[in-house]
Amino acid sequence: MTEDSSRKAYMVCVTYVPDDGDTGALVDRLQAFCKGASKERIQQALENPPFTFRRMNFDSAQNAKKDLERLGCAVEIREGAGAANPNETVLWEKESQKHQMRLAKGVDADLIKKNIEIFSSSNAAVEAYRTLRTNLLVRMKEKIGNIFLITSPAPKEGKSTTVANLGIALANTGKKTLLLDLDLRAPVLHKYLGIDNSLGLSNVMLDNLSPEIAISRTIFDKLHILPTGPLQPNPAELLSSSAMPGLLDYLSAEFDLVIVDSPPIIGLTDSVVIGSAIGNAFLMIRSGHSSRQQAVQAMRMLENVNCRILGAVLNEVDLDKTGYGLYGYSNRH
């Protein structure tokens, strides 16, 4: 099924500005398209094309293109994130606003709360997330940092569900918490929390956008999310970018805790790259799904890049057989 173009994000790129054009009219039009961008920055961009600016939907991008072409500019429209060259200026709408809540179109906040497990499941599930939260906070006393990767050997182990619920559990204690979605292949965290994904990590990495603008608050107090943003064809390269350590340092300083979602380990390099950068990981194991061999292989792959396995989360335990509740947690020493 082809995604509706009205729900995608687009970049408008101005590749040529006429020397004898009406500069005043161009500045006025660009200020209308990029509310929040200063007149000085727009004038600098006009003097050094190409430059780009972000629009939220296809119709707005087409209208901007037509208006600027009438003023003599050459304009092209790009889907998603990614400037054509690293020297290209990017003008962002609402640049000065930090950590705004960007709910996706048509989102029902009450329905989100009902769908998030910590609000809708049995007491056993809620208590299990609190137990995981407690264990994580205890491990933090070992001064191992405040960024933690949640990953698994194989797909569909419950990583994203656990990341979302753990984040809420941490935020409920008053901790300023960020959920960082580094699953650049099949992201779902933004869907769980009802956040628009047209702006996120890929814009920070490729368009030099400040993380402050890409991070969104959520309907849960103290809980924030940095979604993936528009997906890119080279996720492993994006994750290993030289800009990633600086971003992680910024997030570590800005938030009390950062919980990271990722793709499965086996068969992809992404989580190994992420684990190497973060250094701390919890391993999700779905009962009856992952084999012992897969779990051991995943652990070794992370340990080979000096990523500590702080614990394991056993998911979907059979209540009739164990009596331990919906989720189990075990420390690995």
Strands 223-226 and 216-217, bridge-based pairing: antiparallel
Same domain, 168 and 301: yes
pLDDT of residue 119 exceeding 80: no
pLDDT (0 to 100) of residue 230: 87
CB 170 within 8 A of CB 259: yes
pLDDT (0 to 100) of residue 324: 41
Residue 45: inside a domain, yes or no?
yes
pLDDT tens digits, 269-322: 899 999 999 999 999 887 766 778 888 999 999 999 999 999 888 876 665 554
Same domain, 39 and 160: no
H-assigned helices in the chain: 23-33, 39-47, 58-70, 109-115, 117-120, 123-140, 159-171, 189-193, 201-207, 211-214, 235-239, 244-254, 270-278, 292-303, 319-322
CA distance 120 to 165: 11
- Report the number of distinct structural domains present in the chain: 2
Name beta bridge partners: 317. Answer: none
Same domain, 137 and 279: yes
Same domain, 146 and 235: yes
Nearest to 18 by CA among 103, 75, 63, 87: 75
Write phi, then psi, for 171 (nearest 5 degrees): -65, -30
Higher pLDDT, 3 or 214: 214
Same domain, 237 and 137: yes
pLDDT (0 to 100) of residue 233: 85
Residue 104: inside a domain, yes or no?
no
Name beta bridge partners: 315. Answer: 286, 327
pLDDT tens digits, 149-206: 999 998 888 899 899 989 999 999 999 999 999 999 999 999 989 998 988 999 888 8
CA distance 274 to 230: 19
pLDDT (0 to 100) of residue 17: 94
Average pLDDT over all residues of the chain: 83
Q: Which of 63, 91, 119 is the last residue of a domain?
A: 91
Q: What's the CATH number where 47 sits?
A: 3.30.1390.10
Same domain, 74 and 11: yes
pLDDT tens digits, 100-117: 888 888 888 777 777 675
Residue 103: inside a domain, yes or no?
no
Element (H, E) at 312: strand 308-315
Same domain, 87 and 113: no
pLDDT (0 to 100) of residue 167: 94
Same domain, 121 and 202: yes
DSSP for 200-237, please give it. Answer: SHHHHHHH---HHHH-EE-SSTTEEEE---S--S-HHH
Same domain, 141 and 77: no
Q: Dihedral, CA atoms, 183, 96, 112, 163, nearest 10 degrees? A: 30
Residue 289: inside a domain, yes or no?
yes
Same domain, 197 and 79: no
Residue 321: inside a domain, yes or no?
yes
pLDDT (0 to 100) of residue 333: 35
Q: What's the CATH number where 209 sits?
A: 3.40.50.300
Residue 50 is part of which domain span? Answer: 5-91
pLDDT (0 to 100) of residue 308: 93
Residue 99: inside a domain, yes or no?
no
Q: Is 55 helix (H, G, I), strand (E, B) or coil?
A: strand
pLDDT tens digits, 258-270: 999 999 998 888 9
Same domain, 183 and 56: no
Residue 100: inside a domain, yes or no?
no
